[in-house]
């Protein structure tokens, strides 16, 4: 621990610092609590979306596997090789407790999906699979958004928690200790001065008497 | 800022993404996947969907992009179906934030 000068000025300074630390601690703690609350909501949403997306994608994969089985993997690949749609996404920004997380929005309408292949040469399962996936697109994008938000928020929560703990368990006790030390030193000095004065007074009275 | 989406993984899973206009990259090995992710990230793709099988190969690379705004790298079930990778990732994030995995215990009850 740093050695401090036992002066009144130092004491005032330390007391001010302690007040600031306590205030900062309270604010950070509130911030942490609110962030955790938001985070739990986001994580629950992510979990729900994740289940929906996984199920949807699994269904889609089964359908596409059927396509591959009925018309051959190569032909199925060929049907899709030329991209006719471009899934453009606009990236925005959202502020959750001063953590800047991205927001994603589909620019193109998902309902107006155009097919890159001829319906005559492909089985209907392929259409099903494509439509299924395009229906799922909005959820998939929301999943991406929530997952990213969760990741970034969890990092920030960890940082904030560390700051709260550092203030609570290191900085504030240290300041308390220093304040106590100075107060004790000052009191001791005062007692020393007082007894010296009494002694001097006694000596003077003896001289007079 | 307008960006696209991309899908990375085995051919069978990722091919269908082409139909909705995602950029697709086929890869099987660790090196291929890593190169694909790096290239897509450089090209400003906003969301990269990656099969769990591939995601498992490159945890470090995924970790690297976690804190940047884009790309968001999202695992999806691949050829072998769900492997529990994405759930595990969510559990880890929750644990990191809260300190304990309270969220899912509550839901199990």
**Residue A194 placed within a domain:** yes
**Residue A19 placed within a domain:** yes
**pLDDT for res A112:** 59
* Mean per-residue pLDDT, A138-147: 90
**Residue B74 placed within a domain:** yes
3-class DSSP state for residue B30? helix
**pLDDT for res A113:** 63
CA distance A24 to chain B (A): 20
**pTM of the entire predicted model:** 0.82
**Residue B64 placed within a domain:** yes
Q: Taking all residues of chain B, what is their mean pLDDT, rounded to a whole number?
A: 82
**pLDDT for res A84:** 67
* Mean per-residue pLDDT, B59-81: 85
**Residue A181 placed within a domain:** yes
- Cα-flanking dihedrals φ and ψ of residue A5, to 5°? -70, 125
**Residue A13 placed within a domain:** yes
Task: For the beta carbon of residue A209, count every other beta carbon within 10 angstroms.
Answer: 5
Taken in order A7, A10, A12, A15, the sign of the CA dihedral is negative
**pLDDT for res B4:** 84
**pLDDT for res B81:** 73
Pick from B6, B7, B47 the residue to mutate for testing the A interface (most A CBs within 10 Å): B47
Would you say B36 and B27 are in contact if contact means Cβ atoms under 8 Å apart?
yes
List the Cα angle A140/A141/A147 in 5-degree steps.
90
Would you say B36 and B77 are in contact if contact means Cβ atoms under 8 Å apart?
no
CA distance B31 to chain A (A): 24
Per the model's pLDDT, the better-predicted residue between A156 and A131 turns out to be A156
CA distance B4 to chain A (A): 5
Q: Is residue A24 scored above 90 in pLDDT?
A: yes
DSSP bridge pairs for A91: A104
Q: Please report which helix (H) or strand (E) contains residue B51, including its range.
A: strand B47-51
Check B77 against A88: CB less than 8 A apart. no
**pLDDT for res A190:** 94
DSSP bridge pairs for A94: A101
Domain that holds residue B20: 5-81
Q: What is the pLDDT of residues A117-137, one digit of tens each?
A: 777 777 787 888 888 888 888
Q: Is residue A166 scored above 80 in pLDDT?
A: yes
**pLDDT for res A17:** 95
**Residue B108 placed within a domain:** no
**pLDDT for res A37:** 92
**Residue B76 placed within a domain:** yes
Report d(CA A169, CA A157) in Å as an integer: 18
**pLDDT for res B106:** 52
**Residue B97 placed within a domain:** no
Question: Which residues of chain B are within 8 Å of residue A152 when distances are taken between CB atoms?
Answer: 66-67
Q: How confident is residue A29, by pLDDT bands cut at 50, 70 and 90? A: very high
By Cβ distance, the residue of A101, A104, A113 closest to B47 is: A104
Percentage of the residues of chain A whose pLDDT score is greater than 90: 48
The reply to whether omega before B71 is within 30° of 0 (cis) is yes
* Mean per-residue pLDDT, A97-112: 76
**Residue A79 placed within a domain:** yes
Structure tokens at B33: 């996947």
CA distance A194 to chain B (A): 55
- Per DSSP, the residues of A80-106 read HSS-----EEEEEEEEETTEEEEEEEE
* CATH code of residue B28: 3.40.50.10580
**Residue B34 placed within a domain:** yes
Tokens 């793709």 correspond to B45
Which range has the worst mean pLDDT, A131-140, A166-175, B31-40?
A131-140
Q: Please report which helix (H) or strand (E) contains residue A174, including its range.
A: helix A172-208
Would you say A106 and A138 are in contact if contact means Cβ atoms under 8 Å apart?
yes
Pick from B19, B76, B94 the residue to mutate for testing the A interface (most A CBs within 10 Å): B19
Please give the torsion angle defined by the CA atoms of residues A198, A202, A205 and A207, in that order, rounded to the nearest 10 degrees: -130
**pLDDT for res A117:** 73
Would you say A76 and A125 are in contact if contact means Cβ atoms under 8 Å apart?
no
* Mean per-residue pLDDT, A2-8: 80
Check B87 against A50: CB less than 8 A apart. yes
Q: Taking all residues of chain A, what is their mean pLDDT, rounded to a whole number?
A: 86
Q: Is residue B70 scored above 90 in pLDDT?
A: no
Q: What is the number of structural domains in chain B?
A: 1
**pLDDT for res B108:** 45
**Residue A208 placed within a domain:** no
Percentage of the residues of chain B whose pLDDT score is greater than 70: 90
* CATH code of residue A163: 1.10.287.3240
Q: What is the number of structural domains in chain A?
A: 1
Check B74 against A90: CB less than 8 A apart. no
Q: Which of B67, B62, B3, B68 is nearest to B37 (CA)?
A: B62
Domain that holds residue A192: 8-203
Q: Is residue A170 scored above 80 in pLDDT?
A: yes
Q: Is residue B109 scored above 50 in pLDDT?
A: no
**pLDDT for res B1:** 46
Q: Which residues of A46-56 are buried (b: 16+ CB within 10 A; e: fewer)?
A: bbebbeebbeb
């Amino acid at each position: 621990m740093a050695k401090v000068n036992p002066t009144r000025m130092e004491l005032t300074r330390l007391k001010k610092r302690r007040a600031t630390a306590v205030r900062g601690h309270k604010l950070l703690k509130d911030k942490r609590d609110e962030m955790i609350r938001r985070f739990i909501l986001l994580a629950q949403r992510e979990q729900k979306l994740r289940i929906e997306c996984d199920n949807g994608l699994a269904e889609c994969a089964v359908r596409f596997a059927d396509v591959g089985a009925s018309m051959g993997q190569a032909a199925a690949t060929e049907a899709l090789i030329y991209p006719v749609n471009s899934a453009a996404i606009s990236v925005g920004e959202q502020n959750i407790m001063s953590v800047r997380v991205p927001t994603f929005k589909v620019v193109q309408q998902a309902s107006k999906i155009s097919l890159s292949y001829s319906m005559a040469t492909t089985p209907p399962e392929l259409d099903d699979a494509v439509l299924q996936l395009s229906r799922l697109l909005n959820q998939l994008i929301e999943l991406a958004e929530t997952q990213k938000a969760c990741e970034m928020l969890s990092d920030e929560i960890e940082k904030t928690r560390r700051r709260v703990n550092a203030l609570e368990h290191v900085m504030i006790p240290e300041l308390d200790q220093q304040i106590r030390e100075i107060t004790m030193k000052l009191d001791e000095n005062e007692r020393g001065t007082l007894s010296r004065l009494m002694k001097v007074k006694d000596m003077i009275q003896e001289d007079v008497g | 800022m307008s960006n696209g989406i991309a899908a990375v993984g085995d051919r069978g899973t990722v091919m269908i993404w082409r139909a909705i206009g995602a950029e697709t990259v086929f890869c099987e090995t660790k090196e291929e996947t890593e190169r694909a992710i790096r290239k897509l990230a450089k090209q400003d793709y906003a969301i990269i969907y990656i099969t769990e099988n591939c995601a498992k190969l490159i945890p470090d690379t995924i970790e690297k992009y976690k804190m940047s705004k884009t790309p968001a790298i999202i695992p999806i079930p691949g050829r072998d179906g769900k492997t529990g990778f994405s759930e595990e990732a969510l559990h880890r994030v929750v644990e990191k934030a809260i300190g304990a995995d309270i969220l899912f215990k509550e839901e199990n009850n």
